[in-house]
Structure 1
Amino acid sequence: MKKSFLLGLGLAMTAAASQAAAQTLTGAGASFPYPLYSKMFAEYREDTGVSVNYQSVGSGAGQKQILERTVDFAGSDNPMSDEAMKGAPGKLLHIPTAIGAVVPAYNVPGVTQPLKFTGRVLADIYLGKIRTWNDKAITALNPGVSIPPLPVTVARRSDGSGTTYVFSDYLSKVSTEWKTRVGVGNSLQWPTGTGAKGNDGVAGVVKSTPGAIGYVELVYAKQNKLPFGSVQNRSGKFVVADNAPAAAAAQGVVMPGDTRVSITNSANAGAYPIASFTYVIFYQEQKYGNRTEAQARALKNLLTWMTTTGQRYNEALDYARLPANVTSKVRSILNSVTYGGKKL
């Protein structure tokens, strides 16, 4: 009888542990979608009782943690490359959760009208070639605007950043010099600038430094009440970042089955040129380590909700919703998730 009692107690404790595991999920990575994820995860907990602990540590750190299997999922603004995924102990999957815009936010006292930028000018600022705000390359784009001869302070990320990847991906498409001298990546050998951690860190540098310019996700500029410029797209139109122009960057994009794609410098007439999907990265086979099936199912349920019902929160926080052709790919990817070789 004692043995039966202990066996029953052990089974009950195992069931309770499995249920507890399913009630908490962990993620880490991109700061780009952090305002959206904070809202989503708060609402999801309210609806389901499942807590999601997401650490905004940068896309590079998130990718490292998913490779090490210390989190349930990683957040990243750039998809991992084939080379980066070679070190993974299992097959990694990517699903987009939103479309966001990276904006050139600035602090130029006395300038009240939004400034215009081209990709070439932004590249030359970050190459250290444009050093004052009244440089002729800037004033020529902004006739009639009185721009002071203030030194330019370049603010950029110090951590491994998907926002950096998106920004440098765009600059590499519009500036041959940037492409050959600096290139594309989460972490770069910067020619100039003051480093800060996270989108919030860069926004903080811009806000506190007269003459500063920094690239941040749109919501960080708005939350910090920072002016940000319009950027000329491939059609020659100067576009101010917003949900519709960011969404336009994804229109007509041929979406690969694994959803890993760049939408910067879109040819669409109304598109904002520095736009990107932001991704969640996770393992296709969920049975590893001490993970339970309940935990694996909880992750799949969360990701399904984020890309369906959870999309209702995107636009109010200045992220565009996923287009229909993307959500169909997402469904296929989530339907491929397995636990012990069996589909969840």
Structure 2
Amino acid sequence: MRSDNKLRRSVLLRSGAAALLVAGIGAGVASAAQTVTLTETGSTLLYPLFNIWVPHFEKAHPGIRVTTQGTGSGTGIAQAIKGLVQIGASDAYMSNGQLKQNPGILNIPLAISAQSINYNIPGLNGHHLVFSGPVLADIYSGKITNWDSPAIAKLNPGVKLPNHKIIPVHRTDGSGDTFIFSQYLSFSTPEWNSKVGYGTSISWPAVQGGLGAQGNPGMVEALKGNKFSIAYVGVSFTKQIDAAKLGTAKLVNRAGKALLPTASTISAAAAALGDKTPADERISLVFAPGANSYPIINYEYAIVNKKQPNKATADAVKTLLTWASNEGNSEQYLKQVHFKALPKKIRELSAKQIAQIGS
């Protein structure tokens, strides 16, 4: 009898352990099911900031995981439209034509950024050469071919410019950096606007010796590897530009003043056009009015579909974008990539757009 009782107790204990094990497995499955993974891809200018943001965001929101890729703004927009990713990062807003074909897509600013013009000229990389939109347009269209061109010399009196061919470098991938650079050329140079125009991808004029590169990392590498080259690079790569001891230009703005991309000149340009930002937040901040406005700045956009596949994903996307445009806009994050925070009014517009996301 005592032996039977022991046997029954043993069976009960084993059954209880099995039940606990099954419950534990079930809890693990439930826990895994509660974790939502979001994919962000696109802008190589915004990519460094996302990589700074993600660990802090995930720590505050343990049920959400975010993967990031720097593939270029064109890819970010395209994959967000196709539903292949939840967030397409872009330095460029979608065109009217794109939005007409895809009315369910939102363009939501996350921060304010800028672009620098950089060069690799032996002996002059420590000097801030001055360039204007028309001079850069002539360089990238092949009309100005030498560094000691009279047009460049006129902007840089007293500087001994080398008698050497210029190597202009442009992006080969669909790029928001190309979008804002070509806008600067278009807005300042009517001939470029009529013959080439602007976009994330454009038909670059054939220039002997010109080079193509992918992403901002590729632009920096092209500059480093080619003396007498010039390129446009997002300011989030300032550390790499400085480490390579490359030159950074002053650009002539709409008021005719030559400026570097600094916190104050970027903020001045943003302030000049911020009040003109429409409800859908698609606006160019390039070539803004004002004596202290740096001429190539932009909103960094999250391209997002209003309709997500399910409520959990929609809620996670809203949580991430709300965090990025508020807590993520703090100086501790933005200063690392030389970005500026969104003004209160723009954050309010973004909040209204984020509220439209659902399943």
TM value normalised by structure 1: 0.90
Residue aligning to 1:101: 114
Residue aligning to 2:341: 321
Superposed CA RMSD in Å reads 2.1
Note the residue ranges of structure 1 that are not aligned, 5 or more in a row. Answer: 1-7, 340-344
In the comparison of the two structures, how many residue pairs are matched? 327
Residue aligning to 1:280: 302
Change (3 A) 1:113 1:299: same
Residue identity matched to 2:299 = F
1:337 shift after superposition = 2.1
Residue 56 (structure 1) aligned to one of 47, 64, 70: 70
Q: Contact (CA 8 Å) 1:266, 1:273: kept in 2 or not?
A: yes
Listed as ranges, the matches of 1:1-344 within 5 Å are 15-20=30-35, 22=36, 24-49=37-62, 50-88=64-102, 91-111=104-124, 112-191=126-205, 192=207, 193-225=210-242, 226-253=246-273, 254-286=276-308, 288=309, 291=310, 293-312=311-330, 313-339=333-359
1:14 shift after superposition = 7.3
Bigger CA radius of gyration: 2
Residue identity matched to 1:227 = G
Q: Contact (CA 8 Å) 1:255, 1:325: kept in 2 or not?
A: no
CA distance in 1: counterparts of 2:217 and 2:143, whole angstroms: 26
CA distance in 2: counterparts of 1:31 and 1:252, whole angstroms: 26
- SS in structure 1 at match of 2:271: coil
Residue identity matched to 2:302 = V
Residue identity matched to 1:148 = P
CA distance in 2: counterparts of 1:57 and 1:87, whole angstroms: 23
CA distance in 2: counterparts of 1:227 and 1:47, whole angstroms: 39
CA distance in 2: counterparts of 1:220 and 1:261, whole angstroms: 24
Superimposed CA distance per residue, residues 12-49 of structure 1 (whole angstroms, 9 cap, x where no aligned partner): 687445312x2x21011111111111101122123323
Identity across the alignment (%): 36
Residue aligning to 2:11: none
CA distance in 1: counterparts of 2:350 and 2:152, whole angstroms: 42
CA distance in 1: counterparts of 2:233 and 2:158, whole angstroms: 27
- SS in structure 1 at match of 2:293: coil
Residue identity matched to 1:19 = Q
- SS in structure 2 at match of 1:173: helix
Change (3 A) 1:10 1:29: same
Residue identity matched to 2:314 = A
Residue aligning to 1:342: none
Change (3 A) 1:175 1:150: same
Residue identity matched to 2:300 = T
After TM superposition, what 4+ stretches of structure 1 lie above 6 angstroms from structure 2?
A: 8-14
Greater CA drift, 45-54 or 158-167: 45-54
Greater CA drift, 9-18 or 103-112: 9-18
1:278 shift after superposition = 1.0
1:51 shift after superposition = 2.4
1:160 shift after superposition = 0.5
1:159 shift after superposition = 0.4
1:9 shift after superposition = 10
Q: Contact (CA 8 Å) 2:83, 2:305: kept in 1 or not?
A: no
TM value normalised by structure 2: 0.86
Q: Contact (CA 8 Å) 2:268, 2:290: kept in 1 or not?
A: yes
